[in-house]
Homo-oligomer: A and B are copies of this chain.
Amino acid sequence: MTQTLDIAVVGATGTVGETLVQILEERDFPVGNLHLLASSESAGSSVLFRNKNVRVREVDEFDFSKVKLVFFAAGAAVSLSYAARAHAAGCSLIDLSGALPAEQAPQVVPEANAEVLAGLKAPFQVSSPSPSATALAVVLAPLLDLIELQYVNVTANLAVSAQGREAVTELARQTAELLNMRPLEPTFFDRQMAFNLLAQVGTPDAQGHTLLEKRLVRELRQVLKQPLLKISATCVQAPVFFGDSYSVTLQSASAVDLVKVNAALEDAPGIELVEAGDYPTAVGDAVGQDVVYVGRVRSGVDDPAELNLWLTSDNVRKGAALNAVQVAELLIKDLL
Protein backbone atom coordinates (compact mmCIF):
# COMPACT_ATOMS: atom_id res chain seq x y z
CA MET A 1 0.00 0.00 0.00
CA THR A 2 1.29 3.46 -0.93
CA GLN A 3 1.85 5.72 2.00
CA THR A 4 0.45 9.23 2.03
CA LEU A 5 1.13 12.44 3.89
CA ASP A 6 -1.38 14.82 5.44
CA ILE A 7 -0.62 18.35 4.31
CA ALA A 8 -1.73 21.94 4.86
CA VAL A 9 -1.36 24.87 2.49
CA VAL A 10 -1.62 28.29 4.12
CA GLY A 11 -2.58 30.91 1.53
CA ALA A 12 -4.35 28.32 -0.62
CA THR A 13 -6.54 30.91 -2.35
CA GLY A 14 -3.57 33.06 -3.44
CA THR A 15 -1.51 33.16 -6.62
CA VAL A 16 1.17 30.85 -5.23
CA GLY A 17 -1.13 28.69 -3.09
CA GLU A 18 -3.48 27.81 -5.95
CA THR A 19 -0.58 26.82 -8.18
CA LEU A 20 0.95 24.84 -5.34
CA VAL A 21 -2.20 22.76 -5.00
CA GLN A 22 -2.20 22.17 -8.77
CA ILE A 23 1.45 21.11 -8.73
CA LEU A 24 0.89 18.65 -5.87
CA GLU A 25 -1.73 17.06 -8.12
CA GLU A 26 0.32 17.25 -11.36
CA ARG A 27 3.33 15.62 -9.77
CA ASP A 28 1.33 12.94 -7.96
CA PHE A 29 2.60 14.04 -4.61
CA PRO A 30 1.38 11.41 -2.11
CA VAL A 31 -1.13 13.71 -0.46
CA GLY A 32 -3.44 12.12 2.11
CA ASN A 33 -5.69 14.71 3.72
CA LEU A 34 -5.24 18.16 2.24
CA HIS A 35 -6.08 21.15 4.45
CA LEU A 36 -6.46 24.45 2.65
CA LEU A 37 -6.09 27.51 4.83
CA ALA A 38 -6.46 31.23 4.31
CA SER A 39 -7.78 34.27 6.16
CA SER A 40 -11.36 34.64 7.37
CA GLU A 41 -12.05 36.46 4.10
CA SER A 42 -12.04 33.38 1.94
CA ALA A 43 -12.78 30.75 4.58
CA GLY A 44 -15.75 28.80 3.27
CA SER A 45 -14.79 29.02 -0.40
CA SER A 46 -13.34 25.93 -2.05
CA VAL A 47 -10.49 24.90 -4.32
CA LEU A 48 -10.44 21.94 -6.72
CA PHE A 49 -8.00 19.12 -5.94
CA ARG A 50 -8.14 15.76 -7.74
CA ASN A 51 -11.62 16.60 -9.03
CA LYS A 52 -12.98 17.27 -5.57
CA ASN A 53 -13.80 20.60 -4.00
CA VAL A 54 -11.75 21.13 -0.89
CA ARG A 55 -13.19 23.63 1.57
CA VAL A 56 -10.90 26.51 2.61
CA ARG A 57 -10.68 27.14 6.35
CA GLU A 58 -9.28 29.84 8.57
CA VAL A 59 -5.65 29.32 9.48
CA ASP A 60 -6.19 30.73 12.94
CA GLU A 61 -8.48 27.86 13.89
CA PHE A 62 -6.26 25.14 12.48
CA ASP A 63 -4.68 22.42 14.61
CA PHE A 64 -1.27 21.89 13.00
CA SER A 65 -0.83 18.52 14.73
CA LYS A 66 -3.28 17.16 12.16
CA VAL A 67 -0.64 17.37 9.41
CA LYS A 68 2.95 16.36 8.89
CA LEU A 69 3.85 19.14 6.44
CA VAL A 70 2.67 22.69 5.89
CA PHE A 71 3.45 25.13 3.09
CA PHE A 72 3.33 28.78 4.12
CA ALA A 73 2.29 30.92 1.12
CA ALA A 74 0.39 33.76 2.74
CA GLY A 75 2.97 36.50 3.28
CA ALA A 76 5.66 37.25 5.83
CA ALA A 77 3.33 38.24 8.67
CA VAL A 78 1.40 34.97 8.48
CA SER A 79 4.60 32.89 8.45
CA LEU A 80 5.94 34.80 11.42
CA SER A 81 2.66 34.31 13.31
CA TYR A 82 2.13 30.59 12.71
CA ALA A 83 5.50 28.95 11.95
CA ALA A 84 6.37 28.49 15.60
CA ARG A 85 2.92 27.01 16.34
CA ALA A 86 3.24 24.56 13.46
CA HIS A 87 6.76 23.60 14.47
CA ALA A 88 5.74 23.10 18.10
CA ALA A 89 2.98 20.77 16.90
CA GLY A 90 5.66 18.57 15.29
CA CYS A 91 4.83 19.72 11.80
CA SER A 92 7.52 20.25 9.13
CA LEU A 93 7.20 23.45 7.15
CA ILE A 94 8.29 24.99 3.90
CA ASP A 95 8.06 28.75 3.91
CA LEU A 96 7.63 30.82 0.76
CA SER A 97 7.57 34.24 2.37
CA GLY A 98 11.26 34.77 3.04
CA ALA A 99 10.41 35.85 6.58
CA LEU A 100 12.21 33.13 8.52
CA PRO A 101 15.93 33.55 9.25
CA ALA A 102 18.31 31.25 7.36
CA GLU A 103 19.55 29.71 10.64
CA GLN A 104 15.99 28.57 11.34
CA ALA A 105 14.90 27.66 7.81
CA PRO A 106 17.72 27.53 5.23
CA GLN A 107 16.97 28.54 1.66
CA VAL A 108 16.97 25.53 -0.65
CA VAL A 109 16.90 25.23 -4.45
CA PRO A 110 17.16 21.49 -5.17
CA GLU A 111 19.21 21.97 -8.37
CA ALA A 112 21.81 23.98 -6.41
CA ASN A 113 22.02 22.96 -2.74
CA ALA A 114 19.83 19.92 -2.09
CA GLU A 115 22.57 18.60 0.22
CA VAL A 116 21.52 21.14 2.86
CA LEU A 117 18.44 19.01 3.51
CA ALA A 118 20.54 16.06 4.58
CA GLY A 119 21.82 18.13 7.48
CA LEU A 120 18.34 18.84 8.85
CA LYS A 121 16.22 16.86 11.29
CA ALA A 122 12.41 16.43 11.30
CA PRO A 123 10.31 18.42 11.91
CA PHE A 124 12.03 20.28 9.08
CA GLN A 125 11.98 24.01 8.47
CA VAL A 126 13.03 25.05 4.99
CA SER A 127 12.66 28.26 3.01
CA SER A 128 12.05 28.51 -0.72
CA PRO A 129 14.00 31.59 -1.88
CA SER A 130 12.62 34.56 -3.79
CA PRO A 131 11.91 33.88 -7.48
CA SER A 132 14.99 35.90 -8.45
CA ALA A 133 17.42 34.00 -6.23
CA THR A 134 15.85 30.70 -7.30
CA ALA A 135 16.13 31.33 -11.05
CA LEU A 136 19.69 32.62 -10.71
CA ALA A 137 20.73 29.71 -8.48
CA VAL A 138 19.42 27.14 -10.97
CA VAL A 139 21.49 28.70 -13.76
CA LEU A 140 24.64 29.66 -11.88
CA ALA A 141 25.07 26.40 -9.93
CA PRO A 142 26.16 24.31 -12.94
CA LEU A 143 28.58 27.06 -14.01
CA LEU A 144 30.51 27.32 -10.77
CA ASP A 145 32.95 24.58 -11.75
CA LEU A 146 33.60 26.23 -15.10
CA ILE A 147 34.05 29.87 -14.28
CA GLU A 148 35.94 31.61 -11.50
CA LEU A 149 32.95 33.67 -10.50
CA GLN A 150 33.89 37.06 -9.07
CA TYR A 151 30.87 39.20 -9.70
CA VAL A 152 27.19 38.96 -10.62
CA ASN A 153 25.22 41.92 -11.97
CA VAL A 154 21.50 41.44 -12.42
CA THR A 155 18.58 43.59 -13.47
CA ALA A 156 15.44 41.62 -12.62
CA ASN A 157 12.38 42.69 -14.61
CA LEU A 158 9.64 41.23 -12.43
CA ALA A 159 6.05 40.32 -13.28
CA VAL A 160 3.32 42.08 -11.33
CA SER A 161 1.97 38.72 -10.14
CA ALA A 162 4.98 38.68 -7.81
CA GLN A 163 2.89 41.07 -5.77
CA GLY A 164 -0.19 38.86 -5.76
CA ARG A 165 -3.69 38.95 -7.21
CA GLU A 166 -4.40 42.64 -6.69
CA ALA A 167 -1.37 43.69 -8.69
CA VAL A 168 -2.50 41.54 -11.63
CA THR A 169 -5.96 43.07 -11.58
CA GLU A 170 -4.51 46.57 -11.40
CA LEU A 171 -2.24 46.14 -14.43
CA ALA A 172 -5.20 44.89 -16.48
CA ARG A 173 -7.40 47.74 -15.28
CA GLN A 174 -4.80 50.44 -15.95
CA THR A 175 -4.09 49.06 -19.41
CA ALA A 176 -7.76 49.01 -20.37
CA GLU A 177 -8.24 52.56 -19.12
CA LEU A 178 -5.30 53.86 -21.12
CA LEU A 179 -6.33 52.04 -24.31
CA ASN A 180 -9.82 53.48 -23.89
CA MET A 181 -8.42 56.96 -23.30
CA ARG A 182 -9.94 57.12 -19.85
CA PRO A 183 -8.12 58.94 -17.06
CA LEU A 184 -5.73 56.75 -15.13
CA GLU A 185 -6.33 56.38 -11.42
CA PRO A 186 -3.63 54.17 -9.89
CA THR A 187 -4.71 52.22 -6.81
CA PHE A 188 -2.48 49.26 -6.03
CA PHE A 189 0.60 50.83 -7.61
CA ASP A 190 1.26 54.45 -6.72
CA ARG A 191 1.67 55.48 -10.37
CA GLN A 192 1.16 54.33 -13.94
CA MET A 193 2.24 50.68 -14.24
CA ALA A 194 0.77 49.99 -17.69
CA PHE A 195 3.23 50.69 -20.54
CA ASN A 196 5.79 51.79 -17.95
CA LEU A 197 8.54 50.38 -15.72
CA LEU A 198 8.80 51.01 -11.98
CA ALA A 199 12.40 51.00 -10.80
CA GLN A 200 11.66 50.11 -7.22
CA VAL A 201 9.64 47.26 -5.76
CA GLY A 202 8.93 48.11 -2.13
CA THR A 203 10.44 50.84 -0.02
CA PRO A 204 14.22 51.26 -0.10
CA ASP A 205 16.34 51.34 3.05
CA ALA A 206 18.52 54.33 4.00
CA GLN A 207 21.18 53.08 1.57
CA GLY A 208 18.63 52.88 -1.26
CA HIS A 209 18.32 49.09 -1.51
CA THR A 210 14.94 47.37 -1.38
CA LEU A 211 14.19 44.29 0.68
CA LEU A 212 13.74 42.28 -2.52
CA GLU A 213 17.23 43.27 -3.70
CA LYS A 214 18.79 42.45 -0.35
CA ARG A 215 16.96 39.10 -0.27
CA LEU A 216 18.26 38.31 -3.76
CA VAL A 217 21.84 39.00 -2.68
CA ARG A 218 21.58 37.17 0.65
CA GLU A 219 19.70 34.14 -0.65
CA LEU A 220 21.80 33.69 -3.78
CA ARG A 221 25.00 33.79 -1.74
CA GLN A 222 23.58 31.23 0.67
CA VAL A 223 22.27 28.82 -1.96
CA LEU A 224 25.48 29.02 -4.04
CA LYS A 225 27.60 28.70 -0.87
CA GLN A 226 29.52 31.82 -1.85
CA PRO A 227 29.03 34.05 1.19
CA LEU A 228 31.34 36.76 -0.14
CA LEU A 229 30.18 36.79 -3.76
CA LYS A 230 29.88 40.36 -5.04
CA ILE A 231 26.37 40.90 -6.41
CA SER A 232 24.68 44.03 -7.78
CA ALA A 233 20.92 43.71 -8.00
CA THR A 234 18.20 46.00 -9.31
CA CYS A 235 14.64 44.70 -9.07
CA VAL A 236 12.26 46.42 -11.48
CA GLN A 237 8.50 46.05 -11.80
CA ALA A 238 7.67 45.37 -15.45
CA PRO A 239 4.21 45.64 -17.05
CA VAL A 240 4.07 41.86 -17.44
CA PHE A 241 1.43 39.68 -15.76
CA PHE A 242 3.40 36.46 -15.29
CA GLY A 243 7.03 35.48 -15.80
CA ASP A 244 10.25 37.18 -14.72
CA SER A 245 13.10 38.23 -17.04
CA TYR A 246 16.69 38.65 -15.93
CA SER A 247 19.52 40.49 -17.64
CA VAL A 248 22.65 38.97 -16.09
CA THR A 249 26.37 39.70 -16.36
CA LEU A 250 28.89 37.37 -14.71
CA GLN A 251 32.53 38.30 -14.33
CA SER A 252 35.07 35.51 -14.15
CA ALA A 253 38.72 35.78 -13.13
CA SER A 254 39.75 34.26 -16.47
CA ALA A 255 38.45 33.76 -20.01
CA VAL A 256 35.14 31.92 -20.12
CA ASP A 257 34.90 28.91 -22.43
CA LEU A 258 31.54 29.42 -24.14
CA VAL A 259 31.46 25.92 -25.57
CA LYS A 260 31.76 24.45 -22.10
CA VAL A 261 29.24 26.91 -20.68
CA ASN A 262 26.68 25.96 -23.33
CA ALA A 263 27.32 22.26 -22.75
CA ALA A 264 26.93 22.65 -18.98
CA LEU A 265 23.68 24.59 -19.37
CA GLU A 266 22.41 22.00 -21.86
CA ASP A 267 23.07 19.17 -19.39
CA ALA A 268 21.96 20.83 -16.17
CA PRO A 269 18.62 19.93 -14.56
CA GLY A 270 15.90 22.55 -14.51
CA ILE A 271 17.26 24.55 -17.46
CA GLU A 272 16.18 24.94 -21.07
CA LEU A 273 18.87 26.54 -23.20
CA VAL A 274 17.41 28.15 -26.32
CA GLU A 275 19.18 28.04 -29.69
CA ALA A 276 22.07 30.42 -30.30
CA GLY A 277 20.77 33.63 -31.89
CA ASP A 278 17.34 33.20 -30.31
CA TYR A 279 16.16 34.27 -26.86
CA PRO A 280 13.42 33.17 -24.48
CA THR A 281 10.62 35.44 -23.30
CA ALA A 282 8.69 35.39 -20.06
CA VAL A 283 5.28 35.01 -21.67
CA GLY A 284 6.18 32.95 -24.74
CA ASP A 285 8.44 30.42 -23.05
CA ALA A 286 8.64 30.47 -19.28
CA VAL A 287 5.06 30.84 -18.12
CA GLY A 288 3.48 27.52 -17.22
CA GLN A 289 6.80 25.71 -17.55
CA ASP A 290 8.98 24.16 -14.87
CA VAL A 291 12.38 25.09 -16.24
CA VAL A 292 14.36 28.32 -16.23
CA TYR A 293 14.99 29.42 -19.81
CA VAL A 294 18.44 30.70 -20.81
CA GLY A 295 19.44 32.58 -23.94
CA ARG A 296 21.73 35.29 -25.28
CA VAL A 297 24.76 33.42 -23.91
CA ARG A 298 27.65 35.67 -24.91
CA SER A 299 31.01 37.04 -23.78
CA GLY A 300 31.65 40.73 -23.21
CA VAL A 301 31.96 42.98 -26.26
CA ASP A 302 35.70 42.80 -25.72
CA ASP A 303 36.16 40.93 -22.48
CA PRO A 304 36.40 37.14 -22.80
CA ALA A 305 36.18 36.83 -18.99
CA GLU A 306 32.67 38.29 -19.02
CA LEU A 307 29.58 36.15 -19.54
CA ASN A 308 26.17 37.62 -20.33
CA LEU A 309 22.88 35.75 -20.09
CA TRP A 310 19.16 36.41 -20.39
CA LEU A 311 16.92 34.24 -18.19
CA THR A 312 13.17 33.89 -18.01
CA SER A 313 11.29 31.95 -15.38
CA ASP A 314 7.74 31.44 -14.16
CA ASN A 315 7.73 33.38 -10.89
CA VAL A 316 4.79 31.44 -9.50
CA ARG A 317 6.03 27.95 -10.45
CA LYS A 318 9.84 27.58 -10.21
CA GLY A 319 9.95 30.93 -8.43
CA ALA A 320 7.70 29.62 -5.67
CA ALA A 321 5.22 26.73 -5.78
CA LEU A 322 7.22 24.25 -7.84
CA ASN A 323 10.45 24.83 -5.95
CA ALA A 324 8.64 24.29 -2.66
CA VAL A 325 7.08 21.03 -3.88
CA GLN A 326 10.49 19.85 -5.16
CA VAL A 327 11.89 20.44 -1.68
CA ALA A 328 8.98 18.48 -0.21
CA GLU A 329 9.71 15.60 -2.59
CA LEU A 330 13.23 15.42 -1.23
CA LEU A 331 12.01 15.40 2.36
CA ILE A 332 9.19 12.95 1.92
CA LYS A 333 11.01 9.73 2.75
CA ASP A 334 11.75 11.14 6.20
CA LEU A 335 8.17 12.27 6.71
CA LEU A 336 6.17 9.19 5.72
Contacts and interface: CB of A to CB of B under 8 A. Distances in A.
A197 interface: yes
A200 B171 CA distance: 24
Contacts of A195: 171, 239-241, 283
A268 interface: no
Contacts of A310: 199-200, 234
Contact of A298 (B208, B297, B301): B208
Interface string A237-278: 011110101010100000000000000000000000000110
Contacts of A203: 277
Given A236-B247, A296-B208, A308-B234, A197 B301 contact: no
Interface stretch (A23-31, A225-233, A315-323): A225-233
A204 B277 contact: yes
A119 interface: no
B281 A197 contact: yes
A208 to B, nearest CB: 3
Interface of A: 153, 155, 157, 171-172, 175-176, 179, 191-192, 195-200, 203-204, 207-209, 213-214, 217, 230-234, 236, 238-241, 243, 245, 247, 249, 276-277, 279-284, 295-303, 306, 308, 310
7 contacts: A176-B179, A195-B241, A199-B310, A203-B277, A208-B296, A213-B301, A232-B308
